[in-house]
C-alpha cells in the first residue's frame, strides 16, 4: 500500500492487500475465531522460516519476552539495553526480576558486547539483547559471553524479522521474541511469537499462554471430552486469535519481498543523503542482512527535536526511537545505577524517518530534499 500525497508521508503503512482480506473473511465465515487452525499454520510457517523447532504465537512480543524469563525459571538479574522500547524492561520487571541496563554501540545502536563484562555479577542469570531497527547484534561475541557465564540468551527480535547474522536468523540463537505491531516487517495488528528449539520449554509456554491448560480449545474439540479442561499450572491468557493469525499467514508469504523493498528504499535514501556531513546514516554490518524495520539517522550537529518538528511541519511523519532511554523513565529510575554515555548521546541525536515497502522514489526524494533544506537553513 502506497502513501498518496507528497508532503504527507506517514512513518509506516502496513502492506495489507486482498489476500489478507480474503483470509480474514474466510476465518470469520468459519466461526472459529479464537486460537485455531490458522494459528497453528502461522506457527508452523514461522518456525520453518526462522529455522527452529517451535514457534508459539501469542498476543504480543511483550508476552513472549515475559514468558521467556518466567518459563525458564529465571530468578536473578537480567542485562538489557536502556536504548529500547519500554516493553523490554517491562517484561523483566513484571516477571519480578531486576533489569541491569547496559550500553550500546554508536554505529548500530545494538548492545556493545565489548563492555558486557562490566555489568556481570554473581546475580546475573540472563541477557536480553535487542536487535535494533532491522539489524542483528554481533552474535559471535554475544554467544561467547553467554557461554562463558552460563546465562540465558533472550533475543528481542521485534524489529528484525528476517534479519540474519552470518546467515543465521534473528530469533534462532536463543529464545526469540517477535512483534507483529503495524510498524514491524510483518503485522497482524497486534500479536507476537516466541521461538525455541527446546521441546519441554515450548510445551510449557504453550500451556502458560492458555490459562495453564495443556490442550488448546482446538485440540479438545477434536477429542472425546472437549469440555474437560484441567490446568496443570497457573497461567495467563496470551493467545493469538485465529483471525489475526490468518493475516500473519498471508504476511509471511510476502515477507521476503517486503523486506527487499525496505532494503531498496533504504539504500536509495542512503545514497541521497550520504553527502550531508551533519547527519550519520545507518551503518550496515558486513555480517548482517539488514531488513530496515526503521530507518534512523543521527544529527551530529544541531538540535534534533527542531529537525523532527521541521520534518513533521513539512508533512513527513518523522519520529524518535528512542527517547528518553528506559532508565530515565520514572518507572525505572530506581534501577538506574550505571552510566551509559553512548545511550545518552544517541537518545539526544537520533531520529526515525518514514520506511515501508510502498515508499516511492518521488517520496524518498522529497524526504531527502526537506532534510537538506533544514541543514542549509540551520548552518
Question: Of the candidates 253, 275, 301, which is a domain's last residue?
Answer: 253
247 and 28 Cβ atoms separated by less than 8 Å: no
Same-domain pairing of 182 and 145: yes
Same-domain pairing of 242 and 326: no
Distances (CA, A) of 165 to 61, 296, 314, 353: 21, 20, 37, 24
Check pLDDT > 80 for residue 221: no
**Is there a domain that residue 101 lies in?**
yes
Same-domain pairing of 172 and 260: no
Structural domain containing residue 260: 255-377
Q: Bigger pLDDT: 224 or 43?
A: 43
pLDDT value at residue 6: 52
Task: Work out the pLDDT band at 276, boundaries 50, 70, 90.
Answer: very high
Q: How far apart are CA 111 and CA 116, in angstroms?
A: 8
pLDDT value at residue 2: 44
Same-domain pairing of 291 and 167: no
User: Which CATH number does the domain housing residue 332 bear?
Assistant: 3.90.1150.10
Question: Of the candidates 211, 228, 253, which is a domain's last residue?
Answer: 253
pLDDT value at residue 194: 98
Same-domain pairing of 99 and 246: yes
Query: DSSP secondary-structure letter at 318?
Result: -
Q: How far apart are CA 214 and CA 224, in angstroms?
A: 16
Same-domain pairing of 271 and 214: no
| Beta-carbon-side half-sphere exposure of residue 35 (alpha carbons within 13 Å) | 23
Same-domain pairing of 325 and 204: no
pLDDT value at residue 231: 80
CB-based burial of residue 320 (10 Å sphere; 0-12 exposed, 13-18 middle, 19+ buried)?
Answer: middle
**Is there a domain that residue 167 lies in?**
yes
115 and 357 Cβ atoms separated by less than 8 Å: no
**Is there a domain that residue 6 lies in?**
no
Same-domain pairing of 303 and 211: no
Per-residue HEC secondary structure of 216-271 comes to: CHHHHHCCCCCCCCCECCCCCECCCCHHHHHHHHHHHHCHHHHHHHHHHHHHHHHH
Task: Work out the pLDDT band at 370, boundaries 50, 70, 90.
Answer: very high
pLDDT value at residue 226: 64
Distances (CA, A) of 222 to 29, 206, 207, 216, 237: 20, 18, 18, 10, 21
Q: How many helices (H) and strands (E) does the chain have?
A: 12, 13
**Is there a domain that residue 45 lies in?**
yes
Task: Work out the pLDDT band at 1, boundaries 50, 70, 90.
Answer: very low
Element (H, E) at 303: none
Neighbours of 167 (CB within 10 A): 9
pLDDT value at residue 349: 98
Check pLDDT > 60 for residue 326: yes
Task: Work out the pLDDT band at 338, boundaries 50, 70, 90.
Answer: confident
Burial 231-256 (b: 16+ CB within 10 A, else e): eeeebbebbbbbbbbbbbbbbbebbe
**Is there a domain that residue 1 lies in?**
no
**Is there a domain that residue 295 lies in?**
yes
Same-domain pairing of 61 and 205: yes
**Is there a domain that residue 5 lies in?**
no
Chain centre distance of CA 320:
15
User: What's the grid cell of residue 78?
Assistant: 537480567
Question: Of the candidates 253, 273, 289, which is a domain's last residue?
Answer: 253
Same-domain pairing of 106 and 187: yes
In the block, cell 554475544 appears at 142
Same-domain pairing of 348 and 246: no
**Is there a domain that residue 9 lies in?**
no
pLDDT digits (tens, 9 = 90+) for 74-102: 999 999 999 999 999 999 999 999 999 99
pLDDT digits (tens, 9 = 90+) for 27-49: 999 998 998 999 999 999 999 99
User: Which CATH number does the domain housing residue 56 bear?
Assistant: 3.40.640.10
Check pLDDT > 50 for residue 3: no
Counting the structural domains of the chain, the total is 2
Check pLDDT > 70 for residue 169: yes
pTM of the complete model: 0.95
Check pLDDT > 90 for residue 193: yes
Q: For the residues 365-373, what does the mean pLDDT come to? A: 97
Same-domain pairing of 74 and 154: yes
Amino acid at each position: 500500500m502506497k502513501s498518496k500525497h507528497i508532503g504527507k508521508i506517514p512513518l509506516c503503512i502496513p502492506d495489507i492487500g486482498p489476500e489478507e482480506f480474503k483470509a480474514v473473511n474466510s476465518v470469520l465465515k468459519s466461526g472459529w475465531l479464537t486460537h485455531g487452525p490458522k494459528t497453528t499454520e502461522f506457527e508452523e510457517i514461522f518456525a520453518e522460516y526462522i529455522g527452529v523447532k517451535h514457534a508459539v504465537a501469542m498476543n504480543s512480543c511483550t508476552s513472549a519476552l515475559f514468558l521467556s524469563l518466567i518459563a525458564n525459571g529465571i530468578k536473578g538479574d537480567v542485562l538489557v539495553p536502556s536504548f529500547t522500547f519500554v516493553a523490554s524492561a517491562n517484561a523483566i520487571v513484571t516477571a519480578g526480576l531486576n533489569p541491569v541496563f547496559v550500553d550500546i554501540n554508536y554505529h548500530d545502536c545494538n548492545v556493545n558486547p565489548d563492555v558486557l563484562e562490566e555489568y556481570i555479577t554473581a546475580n546475573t542469570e540472563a541477557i536480553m539483547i535487542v536487535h535494533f531497527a532491522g539489524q542483528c547484534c554481533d552474535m559471535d561475541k554475544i554467544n561467547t559471553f553467554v557461554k562463558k557465564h552460563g546465562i540465558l540468551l533472550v533475543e528481542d527480535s521485534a524489529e528484525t524479522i528476517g534479519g540474519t547474522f552470518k546467515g543465521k536468523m534473528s530469533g534462532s540463537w536463543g529464545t526469540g521474541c517477535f512483534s507483529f505491531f503495524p510498524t514491524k516487517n510483518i503485522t497482524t495488528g497486534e500479536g507476537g511469537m516466541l521461538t525455541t528449539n527446546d521441546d519441554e520449554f515450548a510445551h510449557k509456554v504453550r500451556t502458560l499462554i492458555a490459562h495453564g491448560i495443556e490442550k488448546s480449545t482446538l485440540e479438545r474439540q477434536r477429542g472425546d471430552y472437549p469440555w474437560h479442561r484441567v490446568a496443570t499450572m497457573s497461567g495467563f491468557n496470551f493467545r493469538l486469535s485465529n483471525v489475526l493469525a490468518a493475516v500473519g499467514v498471508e504476511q509471511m508469504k510476502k515477507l521476503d519481498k517486503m523486506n527487499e523493498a525496505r532494503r531498496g528504499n533504504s539504500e536509495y535514501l542512503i545514497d541521497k543523503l550520504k553527502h550531508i556531513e551533519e547527519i550519520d546514516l545507518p551503518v550496515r554490518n558486513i555480517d548482517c542482512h539488514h531488513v530496515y524495520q526503521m530507518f534512523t539517522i543521527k544529527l551530529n550537529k544541531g538540535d534534533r527535536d527542531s529537525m523532527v518538528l521541521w520534518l513533521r511541519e513539512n508533512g513527513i511523519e518523522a519520529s524518535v526511537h528512542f527517547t528518553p532511554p528506559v532508565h530515565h523513565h520514572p518507572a525505572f529510575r530506581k534501577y538506574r545505577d550505571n552510566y551509559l554515555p553512548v545511550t545518552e548521546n544517541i537518545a539526544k541525536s537520533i531520529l526515525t524517518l518514514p520506511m515501508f515497502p510502498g515508499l516511492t522514489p518521488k517520496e524518498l526524494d522529497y524526504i531527502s530534499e526537506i532534510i537538506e533544506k533544514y541543514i542549509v537553513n540551520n548552518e
